[in-house]
Chains A and B, each alone.
Chain A
């Protein structure tokens, strides 16, 4: 399953979607909202997406995974909207006959997602908010890296 959802992610559903009798292991990555970022307290994150392209890019990543490793199934679910501390923003699950492929494929999918998929997150602090990736800006100011 490749999905973008505004609802809380049901990790068990994602795991079940990759289960396969020919799999010897399932690697699952859950990205969770951390309560700190660059020494500041984070209250929550808010994700937004260019949904049609994000889905297409996620499908492309899944295709690349299947080409490069022997995996049985891969599922990626990304959440958008407000995500509270500790909640899951993304779940990636990969099943494979052998654990090495499952680990490597899952890591690749996450690393590539973070570089390529048109999804953005905004961090909310007590004294402002900032779009992640614009390091160097001050709280409440919108700008680009200096």
Chain B
């Protein structure tokens, strides 16, 4: 299994009720596996497909990005800084 730490922010954090979730994923898992796993646990997350971006270790990545042990994955809802 690949262990990753998923950070949730803003609306994602409100809906999940927490700001961090540890996930164990199958080898070969990509960033899209993270969202699909979250949707299994919290069906409300399904509305986010296509509306959130993802970051791994502080860099934006595509959903095909492969995950590695101890990666920090972040769910990035639409940003509104400034």
Which A residues lie at the B interface, using CB under 8 A?
31, 47-50, 52-54, 56, 78, 89-90, 110, 113-122, 131-134, 142-145
Contacts and interface: CB of A to CB of B under 8 A. Distances in A.
Contacts of A122: 10
Given A120-B9, A144-B47, A145-B51, A53 B74 contact: yes
Contacts of B9: 48, 50, 118, 120
A10 to B, nearest CB: 18
Contact of A47 (B7, B51, B76, B81): B81
Interface of B: 7, 9-11, 14-15, 47-48, 51, 55, 58-60, 74, 76-82
A56 B59 CA distance: 9
A47 B11 CA distance: 12
7 contacts: A53-B58, A54-B81, A110-B82, A117-B79, A118-B81, A122-B10, A133-B77
A142 B11 contact: yes
A113 to B, nearest CB: 5
Contacts of B47: 143-144
A117 B7 CA distance: 16
B79 A131 contact: no
